[in-house]
Structure formats: structure tokens, C-alpha cells
Structure 1
Amino acid sequence: MKVAISIGGSAPVDIMSQIEFAICADEMGVDTVWSAEGWGEDAVTSLTFLAARTKRIKLGAGIMQISARAPTMTAMTARAISNLSVGRFLLGLGVSGPQVVEGLHSVRYNQPLTRLRENVEIIRQTFSGAKVVYQGKHYQIPLDNSEGKSIRVQKPMYSIPIYLATISPRALEYTGRVADGWLGASFSPDYSDAHFEHIRRGAEAAGRKFEDIEIHVPCSIAIDDDWTASIEKRRSEVAFSLGAMGSKKTNFYNDAYARAGFGEEASRVQSHWIQGRHEEAVSNVTDAMVTKFSAIGDKREVQARLQCYKNAGVDVLVLRFLTDDNSSRVTMLEQVLEMTADLV
């Protein structure tokens, strides 16, 4: 099992500190750095900077929100970073959620899976070097009844794999059918079939194997003999995901916890959060809703959790450190790299 890190996101971050951490991770032999995109930094700019400052680490956009840009522009951006990084770029795509798509990008959140499918098809057609011609429900290229004409974009110099960040069962099945990799969320190795069952079904329907899809999943991590503070920090983050990362009607993170057997608890957390009772929401996140979806504890406990992730079939573990201190993150990263080398 390989190790990755993530930078960026929706919370206020010191991006330059995270960039320096990513540079250290490159020197330490980390497999991938994923750059998040919420309502802070975009997913692309930091990776372009890192392309010039790193040598080996893969650079993953995790994710480029499909509603925030045209699919052909996504393809051209991916082509540019791939060429600049000498083939180290991984293109992560996702539909985000209605609050961000409609509230920030001024795009209706309708038929998200259809929109994702059309993006993947257009992007791959663009990568092929053929003239882009496409007729879908959301995209028509060239535009009908217009002065536009089909245009060819030069092929990338290197192959660009597409990773899909999906959570709902139908989207997970689609991932299994077409994606090169999966970017997980709300994942627990103890309940891996809440996600893997659907990816596997999609892969088999397309004549593929589950092993054809590279599995990247997030893992919040803290290595400390006294990990109470880390549990509490993660408890607050889980409450935010279940209550705020989506609407009352559409919250994929909440649904994923429900499929893992935490439906009643997740529903209570969401209800409290939506009504503005954030402290009550946090208090309703049980210890199991934290510890079953992370690796928090002393060295022995964390190594046991890492073994669980590997046994579940995870290819790359994307670490999310429960500290903002770079020195502490580097120390923990060194420990995790040693632990993963010893996994059986």
C-alpha cells in the first residue's frame, strides 16, 4: 500500500506551508499529492507550482469540479500540467454538491451523473487528438445553430489517467465501468463494501476487474499516546461533513455513513446541524464514527489500522493530518512510511 498526502480544501489554510510540506513529501518518496478544491484555492494552481518544485511525486487534482469549468478546458488544463510535470499529473473529477454548484458556480445541480459521464467522454475525446464533436444533454460541441466549428486540441505528450470522486451507488458503479482510479470519501476499511460492492459491480458489467481501478482513500491520522484532542478535532470535522457538506435532501457523505451502518446517528447529526445546533451535532458523532474511519492512536494502534486499510484492498492511502504544524506532519509521515513498509 502506497502513501499520498492532500493539500488545499475548503477550510482556511496556509497554502505555502502545505506546499513546503508537499515538497518534503516528494523528497521522502510519497507516491501522490492530491490538491483539493472547495471554496478556497482551486485544485490546479498549487499543482502547477509543485510541478516546478518537485521531481517524483505524482500530482493529482482532487478534484476539478466539473460544474466550474467546460470539459474541453478541463482537458486542456490537464494536458498543460501533464506536459509540464513530465507525465506526473492525475486528473480527478467529481460532481461536488448542490450547495457549492448552485451557490458558488451558478450552475443547476441537475443530472450530476449524466454531467459527469459527458465530461469524461468529452475529455477523453479531447485527449485523443481528434476534432471534438459531441452531442449530449448538457454539452453540444460545436454548439447547435452557431458559428462554431469542431476544433482539434493537440494530444498530451503523456497518458493522463482519470480518477473519479464518487460516493453514491450509481456513481460508484459508473466509476467501476470507466475510471482509471477512485478517490474515496467517508470510507472505512471495516465497512469497505459500502463502496467496493458498487465499484466491483460496475467493473464486472464492463468486463473489467476490480483490480483495474486504483483505489485511493482518505485517512485522518494522528500518532500520539494522548490522542483525545485529535479525536475531538476529527469529531467536529465529521459533524461538518454530515451536516453541512450538502443540503438536507442531498448529502452524499451522510448517505455513505448510513450505508456503513450509522444511518440513525448520521441523521441526528445532520438534523442538529441544519437547525443551527452545531454543538449538539458534534456531540452526536460517536467515537466509532471517528475511529472506524481514521487511524488515531499510539504507534501500535495506528499500525494496526493501516493494516486494516491494506487488507481491505486500498492501493494508496491519502493521509490527512490532524495538525497544522509542518514539523509534526513530517514526523508522522516518516512514521507512516516506516509502518507501511512493514505491513504484510
Structure 2
Amino acid sequence: MARYGLTIPLDRIPLGEQREAIRRLREVGYEDLWSAEVGQYDAFTPLILANEWEPTFNLGTAIVPAFTRGPATMAMSAAALAELAPGRFYLGIGSSSDVIVSKWNASEFVRPYYKTRDIARFLREAFEGGKVDRKFDTFEISGFRLAQPPTVPPKILIAALRPQMLAMAGRESDGAIINWLSPADVAKVVPFVGENKEIVARIFVAPGVERNLLLDAGRRAIAAYLNVGVYADFHRWLGRGEALEQMWRLWDSGDRKGALAAIPEEIVDQLIVSGTPSQCKARIAEYFGAGVDVAALAVLPFGIDTYEAALSLAPGSSE
């Protein structure tokens, strides 16, 4: 059954003061809360607080990078949250990017496909409660055991873009986390994951934003991601190579202003959900129709109150 989720923590509200806002989100129909881990907070703390304030949400990480925590540390962090929210916690992991892993976390971004796969395999073993004593392809674990394995192990999801990673998510985990794509792209992506797997899509939304501001800020947001190698390759595979080639060329030459201007208007409309709340909800419904199980909305701070915008997009809201 399709579920509406929201990316937390909420903007412009101090983390420790979000109790009433989180409770309100449940009242208007959100069922899931998903945390991102990029450059603001870690992935687990906002979910722990949300669970304390409103212990009925499904909770998920989208994502925890496979490189930035030791395997045992990741297992312990996930086990704690799984114990607090039994049957409601999804551990989303992924390779992340060379920028986050290498430039921000001083770790080597090496063999990301295999590292993510090995972390998923290790976590499954660790959550079962036995001793893990094994040499994986990308690391070796000697004698680790969770002293308190979770009563209900979390579902593991793998963030994936192209066919090889999508297929691996289907083989090695309970489903896939996808982002920066249109409903039509979802229909192309989902079959690679396979049947009976959960699909969580981070959907970037900007309801009620004035058109010129949407295009300007949207191009900046798109450029920040699509100039990262893994995302550039993803969108070439999706068929946007010709439309974005000039942007990539200008960006690589150092012409940032020209690169932003080169992003076609239709690309902004494909990748960012915008318009009135009703128009946005109709567009989100297209993602569900294409095979998404959980829409993890990420409200973009394009001159709007992101919390009020989130409320306007909730299943129980009306314009």
C-alpha cells in the first residue's frame, strides 16, 4: 500500500523543538519519516527524537553511507533504533558519493558497489545475533557479536541508480531507495530491482513557488547533484545525456553561470514536483502508479515555509 513520508529534520525549527510539528505530521496523514545524512545532522538522531515524540511512524534512513562508519558501529546504531521502533525501522544504506566520502569524511571511495553489498551482508549476519567472523571482499570482521541484537531486525534497503546496483539491491536487501528521477524514470528503474521488493523514492517538491524562482533555485539544486559522476552517469542512462551535455561541459570548464542557464526548463519540471498543492499531489500519485511504495518527500527551501508546505501536501490536507 502506498505511503506518504517526509524527509526530516524540518527546516527552520530547532531540532529539539520539533515535537509538536512531528505530531501534527502524523495527524494529517504522513506515515513515514526519513532522514538524510549529508551535511546537517547524522541519520539516526532525528529519527530517535521523532520516535520518542510520536511512536507510530515508520522510520528510515535515506541514506547512511557505507563508507563513513565502521561496520560494527553501523550495526550498533541501527540495532538501537530497531529496538526502539520494532518493525517500523528501515535501514537505508548506499555508496554515497566521492565528495561526501572522500572530501568530507577523509575516507577512500573505493569499490563502492562491493562495499555497499558487503555492508548489507554483514548487517544481516550481525542482526541475527551470531558471531561474525568473516572476510568479505572489501573488509574483514573478526569475532564481532551484537550483545543485544534487535528483537525485530530492521529491513535493509540499498540506494541504487543504474541496473547493476538496482539488481544488487533486489538480491541483497529488502528493496531500493531511488531519487532524482521522474515518474517515467521510475517505470524504467523498478523492474531491475525485481518483484516483491519495497521501493522508496525521495521526491523533491516545491509547492507554491513562483515560476522564475523555481527555475533559478531548481537549476542550482539539480546542478549540485547531476555534476557528481554517479548522477551524471545515471541521467545519461535514463536518456538525458543530450539535454544535459552542454551543462556538464560548461560546468567542467568552470563556467558555473553558463552551466546553470544550460539546464533546460523541462528538466526542472521532470525532476522537481511543483505547482499548487493539488497539482503536486497529482504528480506524486504518478510516482505511486509507476511502482513506488513510499514517497519520501523532500521539500526544497525555495523561499517557502517548508513545514507549511509539507502540511499542504499531506494526504489529509486540502487547499
Query: Normalising by the residue count of structure 2, what TM-score does the alignment of the two structures yield?
Result: 0.88
In the alignment, which residue of structure 2 is the partner of 1:191? 185
Partner of 1:329: 309
Q: From 230, 233, 237, give the equivalent of 1:259.
A: 237
Instruction: Return the offset for 1:255.
Output: 1.9
The Cα of 1:305 is off from its aligned counterpart by 1.6
Question: How far, CA to CA, are the matches of 1:104 and 1:86 in structure 2?
Answer: 32
1:230–1:322 CA contact under 8 A, matched in 2: no
Partner of 1:204: none
Contact 2:250 2:256 in 1 (8 A): yes
Give deviations 1:287-324, integer Å, cap 9, x for gaps.
22111223212355334323321221111112122335
Aligned length: 314
Q: Is the 8 A contact 2:76 2:146 kept in 1?
A: no
Are the equivalent residues in 2 in contact too, given 1:236–1:282 (CA < 8 A)?
Answer: yes
Name the structure, 1 or 2, with higher relative contact order (CA <8 Å, separation 6+): 2
Q: Distance in 1 between matches of 2:300 and 2:107?
A: 33
Would the aligned equivalents of 2:15 and 2:46 in 1 still touch at CA under 8 Å? no
> What CA distance in whole angstroms lies between the structure 1 residues aligned with 2:82 and 2:146?
18
Task: Provide the rounded CA distance (Å) in 2 between the counterparts of 1:150 and 1:320.
Answer: 36
**Preserved contact between residue 22 and residue 33 of structure 1 (Cα < 8 Å):** no
1:177-256 alignment, distance < 5 Å: 177-200=171-194, 210=195, 212-224=196-208, 226-243=210-227, 246=228, 251-256=229-234
Instruction: Report if the CA contact (8 A) 2:176-2:198 is conserved.
Output: yes
1-side partners of 2:209 and 2:259: how far apart?
27
The residue that corresponds to 2:123 in the other structure is: 123
Q: Which amino acid aligns with 1:241?
A: Y
SS in 1 for 2:67: helix
Q: What is the alpha-carbon distance in structure 1 between the residues aligned to residue 278 and residue 41 of structure 2? A: 36
2:190 and 2:291 in contact (8 A); partners too: no
Q: How much has 1:161 moved relative to structure 2?
A: 0.3
SS of the residue aligned with 2:132?
coil
Q: Which amino acid aligns with 2:313?
A: L
Alpha-carbon displacement from aligned partner over 1:186-212 (angstroms, at most 9, x marks no partner)? 221123244224223xxxxxxxxx2x1
Hey, what does 2:110 align to over in structure 1? Answer: 110
1:168-183 mapped onto 2 (5 Å cutoff): 168-183=162-177
* Matched letter for residue 118 of structure 1: D
CA contact (8 A) 2:311 2:317 kept: no
* CA RMSD of superposed structures (Å): 2.5
In 1, Cα distance between the equivalents of 2:286 and 2:145?
48
Aligned 8 A contact 1:231 1:296 in 2? no
1:163-183, CA deviations, whole angstroms, 9 ceiling, x for partnerless residues?
Answer: 111113211110121221211
Supply the distance in 1 between the matched residues of 2:165 and 2:52 (Cα, whole angstroms). Answer: 34
Choose the corresponding residue for 1:289, options 255, 267, 283.
267
Compute the displacement of 1:67 (Å).
0.7
**For structure 1, which segment, 218-227 or 302-311, has the greater mean C-alpha deviation from structure 2 after superposition?**
218-227
Alignment match, 2:15: 16
Percent identity between matched residues is: 25
SS at match of 2:179: coil
CA distance in 1, matches of 2:146, 2:204: 43
Alpha-carbon deviation of 1:271?
2.7
1:188 is aligned with what amino acid? S
Match of 2:41 in 1: 41
Q: Which segments of 5 or more consecutive residues in structure 2 lack a partner in the other structure?
A: none
Query: Given residue 196 of structure 1, which amino acid in structure 2 is its aligned partner?
Result: V
Asked if the contact 1:52–1:85 (Cα under 8 Å) also holds between the matched residues in 2, the reply is: no
Whether contact under 8 Å (2:277, 2:313) holds in the other structure is no
